[in-house]
């Protein structure tokens, strides 16, 4: 299958590579082609403009957006709606707010273009192990692109979760849960680090992976981070950013009177990390770098 990919950065570039390895044809565009990894440049048919990308796709066309949420996403959708025709598909794979995705679905439907919002989880590891895909939008469009989803995801790693907006809603809640899980790991390992026992944190993280109730992929990544950076994480500042999804989840919960105190507190702890240096924040920053390639502040 042929698909266009707009945005060939850390996530989009690896997704394009995974698609090409599975036998799909990818026509790509990146605002700054010099920022595209050489491996992606070699595998993808790069175009100098979105218009040229659309011209190189055979109808009915499908274009996947992997650009930052907000204005870049809205502008990309507007551009594509001026170039695509009835029956074509736009897949929006960024971390957009679900209400914006629902509105984009309505806007596309008015032009006869199908819109799928795809929550994507997997970070920098997706190229190797696949991406978990949470997809909202018209079911026929989802079914048409199933070969693409199968290529990107691990076994049973993709699903149609509802109408337009549902994919990004599910991803929003997924990330809110992630906030709380990271916070719990950060606080627990700070307790271990500050104890009088001189505990080897990397050894404990690896130990807990062997049959314990809290074993998880995050503990695998924490073991890796502690071994790479040292148990004291002295080169990582205790500064934790947030992408906005935690804030959106809390706003949704407030609007619907849903108590989510743990997730709410985990967001506030991220705010606090920018004002004081806590070891728990170092743990969270190190984990975000491991699974998502997020930048960390160095000390």
- What domains, with CATH codes, occur in the chain? 2-163 (3.40.50.720), 171-292 (1.10.1040.10)
| pLDDT tens readout for residues 177-233 | 999 999 999 999 999 999 999 999 999 999 999 999 999 999 999 999 999 999 999
Cβ neighbors of 206 (< 8 A, separation 6 or more) are: 219, 223
Angle, CA 264 vertex, CA 258 and CA 266 arms, to 5°: 145
Closest residue by Cα to residue 177 from 274, 267, 47, 268: 267
CA-to-CA distance for 73 and 75, rounded, in angstroms?
5
Q: What is the largest CA-CA distance in the chain?
A: 67
Percentage of the chain beyond pLDDT 90 is 90
- pLDDT number for residue 257: 98
- pLDDT number for residue 295: 85
Strands 62-65 and 45-46, by their bridges, are unpaired
Structure token digits, residue 174: 């997924």
pLDDT at 299 over 80: no
Q: State residue 102 phi and psi, 5-degree precision.
A: -60, -40
Task: Report yes or no: 24 and 51 within 8 Å, Cβ to Cβ.
Answer: no
Cβ neighbors of 67 (< 8 A, separation 6 or more) are: 6, 7, 12, 73, 76, 94
- pLDDT number for residue 123: 87
Structure token digits, residue 101: 């995705």
Q: Could you list the active site residues?
A: 171, 178
Residue 97's pLDDT band (boundaries 50, 70, 90)? very high
Structure token digits, residue 175: 């990330």
Task: Report yes or no: 279 and 187 within 8 Å, Cβ to Cβ.
Answer: no
Q: State residue 135 phi and psi, 5-degree precision.
A: -120, 130
- pLDDT number for residue 292: 86
pTM: 0.91
| pLDDT tens readout for residues 69-88 | 999 999 999 999 999 999 99
| pLDDT tens readout for residues 242-293 | 989 999 999 999 999 999 999 999 999 999 898 877 899 999 999 999 998 8
CA-to-CA distance for 45 and 235, rounded, in angstroms?
39
Cβ neighbors of 9 (< 8 A, separation 6 or more) are: 30, 35, 66
Q: What is the mean pLDDT of residues 148-170?
A: 98
């Amino acid at each position: 299958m042929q698909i266009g990919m707009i945005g060939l950065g850390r996530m989009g570039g690896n997704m394009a590579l995974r698609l090409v390895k599975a036998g799909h044809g990818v026509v790509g565009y990146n605002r700054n082609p010099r920022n595209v990894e050489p491996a992606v440049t070699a595998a993808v048919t790069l175009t100098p403009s979105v218009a040229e990308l659309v011209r190189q796709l055979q109808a009915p066309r499908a274009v996947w957006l992997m650009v930052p949420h907000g204005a870049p996403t809205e502008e990309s959708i507007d551009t594509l709606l001026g170039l695509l025709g009835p029956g074509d598909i736009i897949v929006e794979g960024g971390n957009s707010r679900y209400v914006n995705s629902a509105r984009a679905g309505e806007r596309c439907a008015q032009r006869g273009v199908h819109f799928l919002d795809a929550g994507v989880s997997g970070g920098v590891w997706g190229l190797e192990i696949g991406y978990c895909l949470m997809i909202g939008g018209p079911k026929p469009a989802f079914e048409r692109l199933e070969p693409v989803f199968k290529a990107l995801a691990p076994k049973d790693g993709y699903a149609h979760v509802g109408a337009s907006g549902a994919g990004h809603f599910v991803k929003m809640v997924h990330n809110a849960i992630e906030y709380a899980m990271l916070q719990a790991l950060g606080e627990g390992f700070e307790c271990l680090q500050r104890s009088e026992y001189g505990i080897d944190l990397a050894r404990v993280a690896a130990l807990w992976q062997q049959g314990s109730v809290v074993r998880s992929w995050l503990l695998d990544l924490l073991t890796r981070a502690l071994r790479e950076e040292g148990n004291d994480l002295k080169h990582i500042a205790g500064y934790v950013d947030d992408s906005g999804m935690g804030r959106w989840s809390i706003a949704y919960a407030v609007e619907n009177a849903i108590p989510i105190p743990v997730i709410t507190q985990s967001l506030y702890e991220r705010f606090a990390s920018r004002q004081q240096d806590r070891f728990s924040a170092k743990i969270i920053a190190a984990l975000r770098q491991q699974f998502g390639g997020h930048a960390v502040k160095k000390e």
